[in-house]
Amino acid sequence: MFSVDKIHFEISERKMILRIFDVFFVLGSLFFVGKIFDFDYFTMSTNNLYWMIILGVYINLFGTIFEMYNLQVASNQFLVLKSTILTVSTTVLVYLLTPFYSPVLPSKRIQILLFYLVVFLALFLWRMFYVTFLASNRFLQNAVLICDKEQVEELISGLEHIDPHYKIIAFVNADATEDAIAEYPYVKNIKREELFLFVKENSISEIVIASQKTDGITAELYQQLLRLLESGSTIREYTQVYESKTHRIPVHYMSRDFYRFFPFSRINHNKLYLLSVRIFEIGISILGLFIGLVLIPVLLIGNTIGNRGKLFYTQKRVGKDGVVFEILKFRTMVSNAESNGAVFTATNDSRVTVFGKFLRKTRIDEFPQFINILKGDMAVIGPRPERPFFVKEIAEIMPFYETRHIIKPGLTGWAQVNYAYGATIDESLIKLQYDLYYIKHRSVFLDLSIAFKTITTVLFYRGQ
């Protein structure tokens, strides 16, 4: 008899569960405490519904900034404790000081302490339940991969490393001639004629097809897939799964007919979106330059002590449509850092000065680029601009690299908030995958996500 399908959650479903129940347990706990104890700071009623809405918005907003909805963080007890403390502390502080939309400050200070403790315990205990139960192996999403045998290890690692709850437990060899295959150390090989039975007996949630050879999908395998489809099984193409799991475009997997699979976001030509973004960029640039001017005295002192040279420097970068422009930055390296030729900046690069490390980690070195944004050479959000020398070098190896130049380069971007500094060609490939994902899915919501992640990067001192 076939087993009942296991319950599993997609990445988006897990994040939605976390967001909804964060608010639910906090408001429920406050309601319970208000009924049982003498706690009148936060009372829930239809007359002050906006108190609950604002508190829920703050929890989700600051939870996003402090990585409460990062699934790797949400599955680790220590990281959950750290994120919960930061989220609750910031939420309670801002909520207490929000005029009109939160209750009047209580006369008894114990009420504030009780409010903080209730919010913290509600969030923390619920998150411990999530780590122990919902993030456990009980809710693994099992899948079967159909691919060529030489691709197995690469394709599996590409999916499982990003989603700890996704497990490929077997694969079907899609080579035209199904030879006898030795046991693979990382996944079970099953025969084509056994696929239907294996899927039903092992609670497989989806079948992922990754074969680029059409002759590998034989009539027999095709019939097996049709039976699975008719019985309610999910069948998806590898690029679709990879993109939804990693939020990257798998250019390493695709051939030169890449553009067939890559419908660029229509919003790249949406005039209302572009106008709104431009107005936002001008406002942010003026604010950024003002903050930079305020910091100039401190930067001059730090530069004199830790940099010993010019405060500013310019460098040629490739912008929209391949046009080269001069980027402006605060100097972070020793003078004549590239006397022996251009090289990638590496982690713990010896050419970076002591003060330069601080500027990079806090992203303060990027502040002068607000001038480039005002001039129209750059945007606030987009692929980071690269130097002409490296663009030429990388484009010879990666045929899709110059696709990045169809939009303006940005001060921050999807690759910057999701991946470390690209110090090698291989790392540049990963960053390219993120950049192309942004170009394909560019939207207001993705821009907001990048903005929040950038704030997280600065607050946690993760700049490069």
78-110 pLDDT per residue, tens = 999 999 999 999 999 999 888 777 788 877 788
Q: What is the pLDDT of residue 1?
A: 38
More confident residue, 378 or 359: 378
Measured between alpha carbons, how far is 315 from 132 in angstroms, rounded to an integer? 50
- Reading the block at residue 256, the tokens are 């030169």
Measured between alpha carbons, how far is 122 from 449 in angstroms, rounded to an integer? 26
Q: Is the pLDDT of residue 45 over 90?
A: no
Q: Is the pLDDT of residue 431 over 70?
A: yes
- Number of residues that make up the chain: 464
Q: Is the pLDDT of residue 111 over 80?
A: yes
Q: Are strands 166-173 and 188-190 parallel, antiparallel or unpaired?
A: parallel
- Reading the block at residue 110, the tokens are 């114990």
Residues 6+ apart with CB under 8 A from 14: 71, 74, 134, 165
Cα dihedral value 234, 235, 237, 243, nearest 10: 10
Measured between alpha carbons, how far is 215 from 213 in angstroms, rounded to an integer? 5
Nearest to 155 by CA among 235, 242, 233, 213: 242
Query: What's the rounded mean pLDDT across residues 113-137?
Result: 90
Contact 65, 51 (CB under 8 A): no
Measured between alpha carbons, how far is 354 from 303 in angstroms, rounded to an integer? 10
Residues 6+ apart with CB under 8 A from 247: 414, 418, 434, 437
Least confident of 188-192, 320-324, 398-402, 433-437: 398-402
Q: Hey, is 74 helix, strand or coil?
A: helix
**Topology, domain 140-246:** Rossmann fold (3.40.50)
Beta bridge partners of 317: 325
DSSP 146: E
Q: Phi first, then psi: give them for residue 381, nearest 5 degrees.
A: -125, 130
Query: What's the rounded mean pLDDT across residues 313-322?
Result: 92
Least confident of 4-18, 280-294, 440-454: 4-18
Query: What's the rounded mean pLDDT across residues 262-272?
Result: 69
Q: What is the pLDDT of residue 340?
A: 62
- Reading the block at residue 408, the tokens are 């303006």
pLDDT band at 2 (very low <50, low <70, confident <90, very high): very low
Query: What's the rounded mean pLDDT across residues 328-333?
Result: 90
Contact 254, 239 (CB under 8 A): yes
Percent of the chain, pLDDT > 70?
85
Percent of the chain, pLDDT > 90?
33
More confident residue, 129 or 253: 129
pLDDT band at 4 (very low <50, low <70, confident <90, very high): very low
Q: What is the pLDDT of residue 35?
A: 82
More confident residue, 176 or 460: 460
The pTM for the full model equals 0.80
More confident residue, 120 or 249: 120
Measured between alpha carbons, how far is 448 from 16 in angstroms, rounded to an integer? 17
Q: What is the pLDDT of residue 55?
A: 93
Please provide the average confidence, as pLDDT, over all residues in the chain.
84
Q: Is the pLDDT of residue 162 over 80?
A: no
Residue type, 379: A
For 120-145, b/e burial (b = at least 16 CB within 10 A) is bbbbbebbeebeeebbeeeebbbbbb
Measured between alpha carbons, how far is 167 from 157 in angstroms, rounded to an integer? 10
**CATH 3.40.50.1380, the chain: domain bounds:** 140-246
DSSP 106: P
Identify the top-confidence range among 115-124, 157-166, 252-261, 349-358. 115-124
